[in-house]
Amino acid sequence: MATNDTEMNELAAKFKATGLNDKQAAEALKSKLIRASFDKLIDESPKEIPQNPTTAGLLLALATATQKGSYDSRPKITQAIIDGRIKSAKQVEGIPFEKRELIVAAVDYMKTHDKIWVETDFENASGIGITVTEGEIKNIVQTYISTNKDKILKERYLALPPTLKEMATNPFLKWADAKLRAEIVNKEFEALLGPKDKQPAAPAKKKVISRLNTFLHKGTCSGKESSCDRNPNTNRTRHTIQYVQFRMDGKSS
């Protein structure tokens, strides 16, 4: 693999000819594995790679995701990117969530079907040709919120992150526009719960009392209960805790 300055400069020019900007090309060159992977990807491309920043970024994502292996079917993904059938990084690399069966995408399919490639299965795994409309996103989000309404009303906006994750890993919605999907989820939560910035503040009583107790133990005790009981500073601190708790109980009632 090229290592001297002249060869590295030639590689940089080769990488940027695909549409990578200076920063992307420099980052690709830094890693020996990615550098070799992207160089080989360009050479093995089944058709000429146009100088297109979006296409180049996806090809670099493919090279990065396959830097530690050699796959006979990789040019098929390269062609799908160049043809415009694969349009996003998540179609290349998948969605990194806990549910393994939901993150399959182009690279995942290739790694398990390199020798038994079925084009229609590859397209399904990669989300090729799947278009999710705004109306379809709304319907699925509204159904989910309706089904989990009691839990959401109880947890309020604490239920928002798990809901966003659930929608992102939904077998159908995972190919939807991520920004639009998040906007719809947020709007539906606001319609149910009201504006997020007007939510009641979380009770701070337990945290305050816990911190005061920590101060009581660390700041005024030597470790022996009897010494704590005899220490006048300890008694004053205990009285302070009792007073704060009394005031907080009064405000919360």
Q: For 68-91, write each residue's pLDDT tens digit.
A: 988 999 999 999 999 999 988 888
Write b or e for each residue in 80-115: b if 16 or more Cβ atoms lie within 10 A of its Cβ, otherwise e: bbbeebbbbbbbbbbbeeeeeeebbbbbbbbeeeee
* Single pTM value for the model: 0.64
Is 179 a residue whose pLDDT tops 70? yes
Contacts within 8 Å (CB) and 24+ apart, 195-203: 196/157, 199/156, 199/157, 203/252
CB-based contact 75:46 (threshold 8 Å): yes
Is 249 a residue whose pLDDT tops 80? no
- Give per-residue pLDDT as tens, 44-60: 999 999 999 999 999 99
- Mean pLDDT over residues 163-175, rounded? 87
pLDDT for res 243: 54
- Mean pLDDT over residues 28-55, rounded? 95
- Give per-residue pLDDT as tens, 225-246: 444 554 555 555 555 556 555 5
Q: Which of 54-58, 152-156, 165-169 has the lowest mean pLDDT?
A: 165-169
Is 251 a residue whose pLDDT tops 60? no
Q: What is the DSSP letter of 176?
A: S
pLDDT for res 182: 95
pLDDT for res 102: 40
- Mean pLDDT over residues 6-22, rounded? 94
- Give per-residue pLDDT as tens, 88-131: 888 897 655 444 444 458 998 999 998 899 999 999 888 898 88
- Mean pLDDT over residues 135-160, rounded? 96
- Mean pLDDT over residues 30-34, rounded? 94
Is the pLDDT higher at 207 or at 58?
58
Closest CA to 16 of 6, 7, 25: 25
Helices (H), the chain: 5-16, 22-30, 32-44, 53-65, 74-83, 89-93, 106-113, 119-126, 134-147, 149-155, 160-168, 178-193, 205-220, 225-230, 232-252
Average pLDDT, the chain: 82
Q: What's the CA gap between 144 and 150, in Å, rounded? A: 12
**CB burial of residue 180 (10 Å; 0-12, 13-18, 19+):** middle
Is 14 a residue whose pLDDT tops 70? yes
